[in-house]
Every structure is written in C-alpha cells, then in structure tokens.
Amino acid sequence: DAGVIQSPRHEVTEMGQEVTLRCKPISGHDYLFWYRQTMMRGLELLIYFNNNVPIDDSGMPEDRFSAKMPNASFSTLKIQPSEPRDSAVYFCASRSSGYSGNTIYFGEGSWLTVV
Amino acid sequence: AQSVTQLDSQVPVFEEAPVELRCNYSSSVSVYLFWYVQYPNQGLQLLLKYLSGSTLVESINGFEAEFNKSQTSFHLRKPSVHISDTAEYFCAVSQAGTALIFGKGTTLSVSS
C-alpha cells in the first residue's frame, strides 16, 4: 500500500515566486495535515482537513499561505509570494478516523529553499 | 490547550548503554501520546503510542515508554542502544479527532 506521497521532494525558488506543494494522502484516510519543520521552531501544524474541509488553519503563518483539498486524494499548499524565511521542510500527513489508533502517517517531505 | 516539552535537546550516549528521552505534556483532557523517529533527510515514522490500557508500551526495536498520568510524562527508554538508533525523536500528544502537537525533538547520538 502506498504511503503519503508528496511532490516536489526538493524545490529551490527565488524570493517572490509562487510555490505549490502537492500531497496525495493514503487511500481511505479522511484526515489530512500539513506541517512545517524548521530548526528554530521545530514541527508546526499549519492546517488540517477532515473530509476535505479545513478544520483548523490557525497555524497558517499569514495570508501568503493557502491550502486546498479539492478531493479526497489530493491537497495543495501554496505560498505566494515566497520569502527566504519560508525555507523549511513541509510535511503532509494523513490518518483515518476509523480505529487506526489515531496514528498519523507522514510523507517524506518537500524541502523548500527560497533564495 | 495542549503542549509537549522534551526536556533534552541532545542526548549523546555510547553504544550498548541505556538511554532515556524525557517527555512531559500538558492537557486538561484525556490524550493520546506518541513517539515518532526521524532519520536524516527522511519523514517521521511512528515508534510507539499510548491510547489506553496498559501504561507501558513497546516498539518492535526494543524501545519502550511508560505513561504516567500523575506526572504527565511519557518518557522513552531503551536498555541498550545501537549506532543505528541515532536519529531525532519527537514526542507528540493529541486528543481524539485532532492533530498531533509535537515537542521540539531530542537528538539521540550513539557513538562507539
């Protein structure tokens, strides 16, 4: 069974450019999470969805960040315009609301560098 | 609101020595507790979890953690570490139906 799939794995972009990160959750999972990892702030929850509906976006840093989940098998995190301080690893994760023990499964991450 | 405190940012140990990575949490309601491990340049993998029942939980690679409600702790232990255990370890807490809240992480460095 495929895990959470993220793309791109690595991206280097110039300040001011738009960045789109993509995520395919595990089939059948109805929760999807976006986390950001930096040395300074550790792992931060940005936003999470349940059945494609955003439940909590209080972690989204500012209006430059937006996330969508148009269907159960796809989500995007967009940064427009990007800034150097957005450089981080962005993780997508998913889980099922059924009895999977609340286990959240992570993708391999998208490593973003904004220069 | 929930929060997690990992008391040590770095733990250096020698191979075959015992290790304990400390984790305390704060929550006003019942929670689920997790330890995740992250190897260099990889995503996070579940190591073990406490949901209910026995307060001592074990992983397949020799780690164990004990849920202590009175001390609001969930420390991770291994009696004898290997070089391959070198990684970043994250403690996390959640309530039913919510996201995981992570601690800052503890870097375990095992040397020979």
| Residue-level pLDDT, tens digit, chain A, 115 residues | 689 999 999 999 999 999 999 999 999 999 999 999 998 888 999 999 999 999 999 999 889 999 999 999 999 999 999 999 999 999 999 998 876 557 889 999 999 999 9
Q: Provide, as residue numbers in chain A, all residues whose Cβ is less than 8 Å from the Cβ of B42.
A: 108-109
What B40-46 contacts at long range (C-beta under 8 Å, 24+ apart), as own/partner pairs, is B40/B87, B42/A108, B42/A109, B43/A4, B43/A91, B43/A106, B43/A107, B43/A108, B43/A109, B44/A43, B44/A91, B44/A93, B44/A106, B44/B90, B45/A106, B46/A103, B46/A104, B46/A105
* Non-local CB neighbours of B41 within 8 Å, separated by 6+ positions: none
CB contacts of A99 in chain B (<8 Å) are none
CB contact under 8 A, B49 and A102: yes
B67 has a pLDDT exceeding 70: yes
Beta bridge partners of A105: A94
User: Given pLDDT bands bounded at 50, 70 and 90, which one contains residue B54?
Assistant: confident
Four-CA torsion B52, B53, B54, B59, nearest 10 degrees = -50
pLDDT of residue A111: 96
Q: Is pLDDT of B1 > 80?
A: no
Cβ of B100 and A45 within 8 Å?
A: yes
Test the B interface: residue of A104, A108, A113 with most B CBs within 10 Å: A104
Q: What pLDDT does B99 receive?
A: 85
Q: Which of A4, A43, A56 sits opposite B102 (nearest CB)?
A: A43
The answer to whether the Cβ–Cβ distance between A97 and B97 falls below 8 Å is yes
Q: How far is CA A15 from the centre of its chain?
A: 20
Q: What is the structure's pLDDT at A99? A: 60
Residues B8, A36: Cα–Cα separation, whole Å = 21
Cβ neighbours of B35 in A, within 8 Å: none
pLDDT score recorded for residue B72 = 92
pLDDT value at position A100? 59
Residues in Cβ contact with A96 at an 8 Å cutoff, skipping those fewer than 6 apart = A26, A28, A29, A30, A31
Per-residue pLDDT tens for B70-104? 899 999 999 999 999 999 999 999 877 688 899 99
CB atoms within 10 A of CB B74: 29
**Hey, of B42, B91, B100, which one would you mutate to test binding to chain A, going by the most A CBs within 10 A of its CB?**
B100
Bond preceding residue A8 cis, omega within 30 of 0:
yes
Which of B112, B108, B111, B110 has the alpha carbon at shortest distance from B10? Answer: B108
For residues B86 and A92, the answer to whether their CB atoms sit within 8 Å is no
pLDDT per position as a tens digit, B8-29: 999 999 999 999 999 999 877 7
Give dist(CA A78, CA A46) in Å, integer: 12
